[in-house]
Amino acid sequence: MMKNGKLIGFLSFFLMIGVCFWACSESEREKPEHTHNWGAWTVTVPATCIDDGEETRVCALDASHIETRIFSSPNAHEWQWAAKISPTITADGEDAGVCTLNASHTTTRTAYAIGTIGLAYQLIDNNTAYSVSKGTVNSGEVFIPAFRLYNGEYLPVKEISKQAFFFSYYSMSGFTSISFAKNSQLTSIGSDAFYYARLTEITLPEGITSIGKSAFGYCVGLTQITLPDSLTSIGETAFFQCYSLTDITLPKGLTSVGSRAFDSCTSLTEITLPEGITSINGAFQYCTGLTEIILPEGITSIDYAFTGCTGLTQVTLPESITSINGAFQYCTGLTEIILPEGLTSIGQYAFMDCTGLTEITLPEGITTIGDYTFNGCTSLSEIILPEGITTIGDYTFYGCTSLSEIILPGSITSIGESTFYGCTGLTQIILPGSISFIGRSAFRDCTQLTKITILAVTPPLLQDIYGNKSIYVFQNTSPDLAIKVPAASYAAYIQADGWSDYWQRISGM
């Protein structure tokens, strides 16, 4: 009995808790008796140009249902501006503003310097900014303002237009100075903007990120230009033929230097490319005064970058470089170059006409040497080609008159057209057994070539690009030229197309 009584008491306790819980929840869950039918919002506290207002709406079904919300003034202040201190061409002034909604509200704003009178402005970016150009100004000093009024409000002057200050080379007038407001809003300089301008110095304001194509082309009097840290891109031929430019510091954030950007800047003596640059094409060609170049680790391509830089005497290339097509052609002062280990191909024209180059060591890993690569390197006396090279291009060693020794590795399969044409210092050469093709005129005019040893068992194909069997491969070599071939292949050689023309010189070994 006692046991049962306890159990009943226990259950009742839980039942009571359950009922209470249900009842409480039900009261909180009270549903509205209708869906509100709200009337329109009515302003109860009007907004001013300073303070928010308040508005309410009432339910049509039960007027005790009211909602309230805050709203901001749609107008804020409505300023009417009047000059307090008038701006000048170069100096900011100040405007005083009075609110047309409440005359007790007053303020001031900067009245921005107006810039050189006569400049022309064009609205850009959906009428949110301006681009500036010379307008009726044709000479003298120019001041570019930071802002310009549009319907009473200041819009930033963000661009210098394409050909903005371009003028004829033959004109005796011209712009002598271009300066910028200290709070300049410029972000870009259009193509040809200062082409032919007679500027001597210019400091570009912080904020500019790009300089367009040929922007300072033929600014022959420009000795100094200061570039902002914000600059990321220099367009192609941007400083083409700025003969007087003696030095330029490229900002750290620069990531793009266009093709031939500094072509023929003959007074530049040294250049350091920042870390972000990964490729330059023709950028410094014909900078004949350049004696030192510092290239960043990370740059991979310098194609035609230093063509005709006759003042360069030695160059060290970073390990990251993989492409050097035409990079140092006509660098007649170059005596020493250290090539990076990772280079796999010495591209076409890379050292063409480097007449001062006496020796070059090619890194292991090179597999191809391009067309014209060492063409006209008249001082090159020795070159060691590493094992692994398979192809030597056309005209690669054409006219290398000092070349007395060349060792071809056992990996070479092909010698291109005119590859050793005119190598008058070459007296003997060994062609490895791997060679299967020799291009037209490959050893033509090697007037001292007296002995050529061919290890190939099968006579290499002597052929030009049209498939003609070449008869010029050994044209005008030494009258004493002896062609040594494997004894067992003698018969094959003297009968093979092309080779049969030289049958009298061929002998087995």
Nearest to Zn ion of 85, 101 (CB atom): 101
61 binds Zn ion per the rule CB under 5 A: yes
Among 6, 10, 41, 62, binds Zn ion (CB under 5 A): 62
Scan residues 65-84 and list those touching Zn ion (CB under 5 A). Answer: 65, 77
Minimum distance, C-beta of residue 81 to Zn ion, in the bound complex (Å): 13
49 binds Zn ion per the rule CB under 5 A = yes
From 85, 91, 96, 101, residue interacting with Zn ion (rule: CB under 5 A): 101
Told to check if 36 binds Zn ion by CB under 5 A, we report: yes
Cβ atoms of 420 and 438 closer than 8 Å: no
Q: Which of 92, 95, 99, 188 binds Zn ion (CB under 5 A)?
A: 99
Does 430 bind Zn ion (CB under 5 A)? Our answer is no
For residue 107, state whether it binds Zn ion (rule: CB under 5 A): no
d(CA 258, CA 236): 4
Size of interface with Zn ion, in residues (CB under 5 A): 11
Q: In whole angstroms, what is the distance from residue 220 CA to residue 200 CA?
A: 8
Which position among 58, 59, 227, 482 is part of the footprint of Zn ion (CB under 5 A)? 59
Q: Report how far residue 334's alpha carbon sits from residue 313's, in angstroms, rounded to the nearest whole number.
A: 4
Please state the closest distance from residue 58 (CB atom) to Zn ion, in A: 9
* Cα distance between residue 431 and residue 443, in whole Å: 12
**Spatial CA neighbour of 354 closest among 405, 309, 385:** 309
Minimum distance of Zn ion from residue 41's CB (angstroms): 15
Stretch that binds Zn ion, among 63-71, 194-202, 366-374, 439-447 (CB under 5 A): 63-71
109 makes contact with Zn ion (CB under 5 A): no
Candidates 32-40, 106-114, 118-126, 492-500: pick the segment binding Zn ion (CB under 5 A). 32-40
Tell me the longest C-alpha to C-alpha distance in the chain. Answer: 138
The interface mask with Zn ion, positions 140-179, x = CB under 5 A, is ----------------------------------------
φ, ψ at 367 (rounded to 5°): -115, -25
Nearer to Zn ion, 62 or 480 (CB): 62
Query: Among 56-64, 179-187, 322-330, 420-428, which window interacts with Zn ion (CB under 5 A)?
Result: 56-64
Instruction: Verify binding: residue 96, Zn ion, rule CB under 5 A.
Output: no
DSSP 8-state assignment for residue 146: S
Residue 32: what are its φ and ψ, rounded to 5°? -65, 150
Are 347 and 373 in contact, with CB atoms under 8 Å apart? yes
Residue 478 CB burial class (10 angstroms; 0-12, 13-18, ≥19): middle
Specify the stretch interacting with Zn ion by CB under 5 A; choose among 62-70, 148-156, 183-191, 471-479. 62-70
Cβ closer to Zn ion: 99 or 277? 99
As a whole number of angstroms, the distance between CA 261 and CA 239 comes to: 6
Contact between 340 and 319 (Cβ < 8 Å): yes
Interface region with Zn ion, contact rule CB under 5 A, candidates 59-67, 161-169, 242-250, 291-299: 59-67
CB of 61 to Zn ion, least distance (A): 5
DSSP 347-406: -TTTTTT-TT--EEEPPTT--EE-TTTTTT-TT--EEEPPTT--EE-TTTTTT-TT--EE
Cα(228)–Cα(251) distance, integer angstroms: 7
Rule CB under 5 A: choose which of 102, 128, 361, 458 binds Zn ion. Answer: 102
Binding stretches for Zn ion (CB under 5 A):
36, 49, 59, 61-62, 65, 77, 99, 101-102, 105
